[in-house]
Structure 1
């Protein structure tokens, strides 16, 4: 049962407004260690330099998309166990199946509520008390 404030998070989205929305939602849940990256390439460099417990990543981004980032994180032994939640505007079955195939822990469809995000986090980490 991790305390929310003890979980380090890397939020990855090419849209600043979406990163801000995710950050604010995480803060409302009690998370404090939140970093951001504007695309998958920057996120990969960031997580290799300073690992996180959780990556919340958009699917559709320039340079390296969410699936590519997920695959790269899973292929790198020091980061392979990092929890990964895919954030997407499209909940089509093919995308979800591919993400599951590559080891995603959960996915969240935009737009989302703070409670939906908390539910997805608790499905990965257990109760955030």
Structure 2
């Protein structure tokens, strides 16, 4: 399973990569924003995208919409990570078929629980 972590903050990106590896997910890629993520997705098979919601260039919500609008990519589950618990943003992401949410700050147990939920679906 190949997981793409999309996060503009290098520290948070490395924390998520470390957590994923701790949980046994060794095949991970990283992108700094939605545009970079789409470049990587076009070049390799990605099984799960974990993206921050708020990023420059292309945010996580636009990335989610772009993935779900493309018939070649729509099968890829997208998990959203955000510090913004705004119900309107969460409802918009749910309507765009987000697979799951993680609210920052989170711990290893929270990530593991969400991964199990998303990968079961």
Aligned-residue RMSD, C-alpha: 0.8
Q: Which residue of 2 aligns with 1:49?
A: 43
The correspondence for 1:9, drawn from 3, 10, 28, is: 3
Residue correspondence of structure 1 range 77-92 to structure 2 within 5 A = 77-92=71-86
| 1:23 Cα deviation after fit | 0.3
Q: Which residue of 2 aligns with 1:63?
A: 57
The correspondence for 2:25, drawn from 27, 31, 35, is: 31
Gaps of 5+ in 1: 1-6
Q: How many residues align?
A: 120
Distance 2:85 2:23 in 1: 24
SS at match of 1:56: strand
How does the TM-score come out when normalised to structure 2? 0.96
Q: Any conservation in 2 of the 1:48–1:79 contact (CA below 8 Å)?
A: no
| 1:51 Cα deviation after fit | 2.4
Q: Any conservation in 2 of the 1:8–1:52 contact (CA below 8 Å)?
A: yes
Greater relative contact order (CA < 8 Å, ≥ 6 in sequence): 1
How does the TM-score come out when normalised to structure 1? 0.90
Distance 2:83 2:89 in 1: 11
SS at match of 2:116: helix
Q: Which residue of 2 aligns with 1:108?
A: 102
